[in-house]
Amino acid sequence: MTGTTPPRRRDAARSRELLLRAAGELFSERGFERTTTRDIGERAGVDPALIARYFGGKTQLYVAALQAERGDTVTADLLDINRLLDVFERADRRGIVPLVRVAVQPLSDPAAQDAALAALHKRLVDPLCEHFARLGLGRSQMRAEIVVAAVIGVLLGRHSGAFGELTQADPTELVSMLHHTLAGDGETPPPPTDQSRTS
């Protein structure tokens, strides 16, 4: 009997991983509201009833997908040109992620909304707020929120198809221009370097 336990554990871990990956993809493509547990199960190739078993429900899976999206490894703020480029390249590869969507489209589920907003502030707003505070600039929270809102606006505009040049722009050129505009330092920043960018 003990010989059957390890495969079951491996299957459970694999099913959980497949559900998490499928959920991340679908939440990015369709948003929280238009993604069903059945959709997630079908994309993952597993029984959607396992969502309740492994995560507790769709909301908890959404929270887990947000956490898996990046984790707690990012420390650089959006005025770091390499971090900014990483954000745009990830959006080009994966589409607009839930973390960005929640800034313009509130969720009907309060728990999912709270989790998404907390992640948005922790990953994007708070590092910028600390950046401005270190520089001794007043209204650091407002400054941080303006920068994050501007970046999200450019991301959404790039993917909406409404702005031809913005949509077609090379990410490196776009990020260089955006960084120059947001930083307002009067200088053209150096190009991003591979060594300080995250995957």
Q: Where are the domains of the chain?
A: 2-66, 72-196
pLDDT above 90 as % of the chain? 47
Residue carrying structure tokens 């490196």:
172
Residue 187 has pLDDT above 50, yes or no: no
Which of the four pLDDT bands, split at 50, 70 and 90, describes residue 72? very low
How far apart, in whole angstroms, are the C-alpha atoms of residue 125 and residue 119?
A: 9
How far apart, in whole angstroms, are the C-alpha atoms of residue 124 and residue 74?
A: 9
Tally of CB atoms within 10 A around 90: 16
User: What's the pTM value of the predicted model, to 2 decimals?
Assistant: 0.73
How far apart, in whole angstroms, are the C-alpha atoms of residue 52 and residue 56?
A: 4
Question: What is the structure's pLDDT at 3?
Answer: 52
Question: What is the structure's pLDDT at 46?
Answer: 93
Q: Which amino acid, one-letter code, is at 94?
A: R
How far apart, in whole angstroms, are the C-alpha atoms of residue 178 and residue 172?
A: 10
Q: What is the CATH number of domain 2-66?
A: 1.10.10.60
68 contacts: CB under 8 Å, gap ≥ 6: 20, 24
Buried b (16+ CB within 10 A) or exposed e, 39-57: bbbebbebebebbeebbee
How far apart, in whole angstroms, are the C-alpha atoms of residue 131 and residue 147?
A: 12
Which of the four pLDDT bands, split at 50, 70 and 90, describes residue 191? low
Question: What is the structure's pLDDT at 100?
Answer: 83
Q: Which amino acid, one-letter code, is at 58?
A: K
Residue carrying structure tokens 């898996």:
68
Which of the four pLDDT bands, split at 50, 70 and 90, describes residue 74? low
Residue 2 has pLDDT above 80, yes or no: no
Contact in structure between 67 and 85 (CB atoms under 8 Å): no
**Mean pLDDT, range 16-32, rounded to an integer:** 88
Contact in structure between 124 and 148 (CB atoms under 8 Å): yes
